[in-house]
């Protein structure tokens, strides 16, 4: 029994950079890859107390158990998998599952385990799951930290209960309840949050009577894909936020200019860093053959270039993260604007150590059709379900607005 239960301890990975990861239900076609990933973890010895390799039939039984088994795919390859299994056989535990996550060695440190766990968290409630439990070797600090980041707490520890290759291991029990969270539901701090939601709507209405409304409308028409309400909120947050501002995905600079104008209005010294990978943009009236060139030109034309630090690069690249950190120094981020690709979780992960408590968050691509929106939304919902993001509304065509409620790692 102990042997079997210890098999379910997942592979510890430190998640820093997610790529284009797609999570879906596993099928028979995935069994070979699932088995291979599991057997590789068994051979490594550090992630599981299962000592003997398993067969495809062994893993096939999980598929036919009726409990969820999901795979994470990167560019058509199964990069990892997550299974939910009954925690204990007695009826009273039927709404509690034990999670197991394993990641292919070739895809580690790319956010695969995190994405799978977020998927499980997002889908828990509608699957009738009220509690999730994970059993992790105590010395697997990276896994314990990952679970904590996703809202799991230490529910217990079992000293020296596993022994493999003559080494005794302690087991940590990580757990998370789901009875108060529904996927997609707005998790409210009832009074304070409701007050903030109405305050924001009220603020937006007031801006409609001010000159900046017309000014930002002109900026929007020339340089932005975002709704005017969102540009106004970015301007507003830039005026009130304490801390610096980080934007991911400037494109032609519409939101960047709105934030820079807010800084100027605040009369305070705030750093505005924008990260843009560059390239070409095909768009009806905003199209360009050189994003970075036109971005610089637009910032200069709007007379805000002196307020903006442009970092040319991909947000998840270590060099970009290092450049942002260097520019921030000891300062924290008080406003984070995410309008790049679908990997919102990756971008938050990369910069979360710099987020101020209560940091304002503007995250685009939350509503609409298509895979990009589905992935972006899944990231935001998982973080909101974990209590790390607090929603304060949805504005414009597709933008999620809220605050960071996480703690430093
Ligand atoms: C939707 S546009 C941004 C629109 C802009 N915020 C506005 O006000 O109209 C997305 C931009 O993000 C950039 N981008 C996509 N993924 C990125 C990444 N990982 N890092 C940096 N920039 C990225 C694209 O090149 C593109 O210019």
DSSP H stretches of helix in 306-370: 318-328, 344-351
Q: What is the reported pLDDT for 190?
A: 63
281 CA: nearest ligand 1 atom:
27
Q: In what order do the strands lie in the sheet with 308-312?
A: 308-312, 272-276, 244-248, 333-338, 355-363, 399-404, 389-395
- How far apart (Å, rounded) are the C-alpha atoms in residues 334 and 345? 18
What are the structural domains of the chain?
Answer: 2-177 (3.40.630.30), 190-404 (3.40.50.150)
For residue 393, pLDDT beyond 50: yes
Percentage of the residues of the chain whose pLDDT score is greater than 90: 60
Q: How far is the CA of 291 from the centre of ligand 1 (A)?
A: 9
pTM of the model: 0.64
**Best probe residue, ligand 1, of 293, 340, 363 (max atoms within 8 Å of C-beta):** 340
Q: What is the reported pLDDT for 18?
A: 42
Q: In what order do the strands lie in the sheet with 167-177?
A: 21-25, 69-74, 77-86, 96-103, 131-137, 167-177, 153-164
365 CA: nearest ligand 1 atom:
1
Query: Ligand 1 pocket, 291 CB below 6 A?
Result: yes
Query: Ligand 1 pocket, 339 CB below 6 A?
Result: yes
Query: Ligand 1 pocket, 287 CB below 6 A?
Result: no
Check: CB of residue 393 under 8 Å from CB of residue 195.
no
Q: What is the reported pLDDT for 189?
A: 60
Mean confidence (pLDDT) of the chain? 87
- Tell me the pairing of strands 153-164 and 244-248: unpaired
Nearest CA to ligand 1 atom 7: 224
Q: What is the pLDDT of residues 85-137, one digit of tens each?
A: 989 888 888 889 999 999 999 998 888 998 899 888 877 876 788 899 999 99
For residue 200, pLDDT beyond 90: yes
Q: Calculate mean pLDDT across residues 278-305.
A: 94
HSE value, Cβ hemisphere, 13 Å, CA-based, for 353: 10
Query: Ligand 1 pocket, 226 CB below 6 A?
Result: yes
Q: What is the pLDDT of residues 395-404, one digit of tens each?
A: 999 999 999 9
Query: Ligand 1 pocket, 249 CB below 6 A?
Result: yes
Q: Calculate mean pLDDT across residues 225-248.
A: 97
């Amino acid at each position: 029994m102990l042997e079997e239960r210890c098999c379910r301890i997942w592979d510890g990975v430190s998640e820093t950079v997610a790529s284009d990861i797609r999570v879906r239900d596993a099928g028979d076609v995935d069994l070979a890859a699932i088995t291979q990933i599991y057997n590789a973890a068994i051979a490594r010895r550090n992630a599981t107390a299962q000592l003997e390799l398993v067969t495809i039939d062994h893993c096939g039984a999980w598929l036919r158990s009726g409990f969820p088994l999901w795979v994470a795919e990167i560019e058509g390859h199964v990069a990892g998998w997550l299974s939910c299994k009954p925690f204990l056989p007695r009826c009273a535990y039927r709404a509690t599952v034990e999670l197991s996550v394993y990641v292919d060695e070739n895809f580690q440190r790319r956010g695969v385990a995190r994405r799978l766990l977020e998927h499980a968290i997002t889908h828990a409630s509608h699957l009738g799951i009220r509690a999730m439990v994970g059993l992790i070797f105590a010395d697997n600090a990276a896994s314990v930290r990952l679970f904590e980041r996703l809202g799991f707490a230490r529910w217990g520890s079992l000293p020296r209960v596993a022994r493999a290759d003559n080494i005794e291991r302690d087991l940590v029990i990580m757990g998370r309840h789901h009875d108060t969270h529904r996927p997609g539901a707005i998790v409210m701090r009832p009074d304070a949050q409701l007050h903030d939601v109405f305050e924001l709507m009220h603020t937006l209405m007031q801006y409609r009577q001010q000159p900046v409304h017309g000014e930002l409308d002109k900026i929007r028409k020339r340089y932005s894909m975002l709704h005017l309400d969102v540009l106004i909120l970015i301007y507003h947050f830039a005026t009130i936020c304490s801390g610096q501002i980080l934007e991911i995905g400037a494109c032609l600079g519409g939101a960047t200019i709105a934030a820079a104008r807010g800084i100027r209005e605040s009369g305070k010294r705030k750093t505005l860093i924008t990260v843009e990978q560059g390239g070409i943009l095909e768009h009806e009236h905003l199209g360009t053959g050189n994003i970075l060139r036109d971005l610089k030109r637009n910032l200069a034309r709007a007379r805000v270039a002196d307020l903006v630090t442009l970092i040319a690069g991909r947000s998840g690249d270590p060099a970009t993260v290092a450049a942002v950190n260097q520019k921030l120094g000891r300062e924290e981020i008080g406003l984070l604007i995410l309008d790049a690709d679908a990997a919102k979780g990756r971008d938050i992960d990369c910069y979360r150590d710099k987020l101020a408590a209560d940091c304002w968050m503007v995250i685009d691509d939350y509503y609409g059709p298509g895979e990009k929106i589905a992935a972006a939304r899944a990231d935001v919902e998982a973080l909101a379900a974990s209590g790390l993001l607090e929603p304060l509304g949805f504005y414009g065509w597709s933008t999620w607005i809220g605050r960071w409620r996480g703690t430093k790692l």
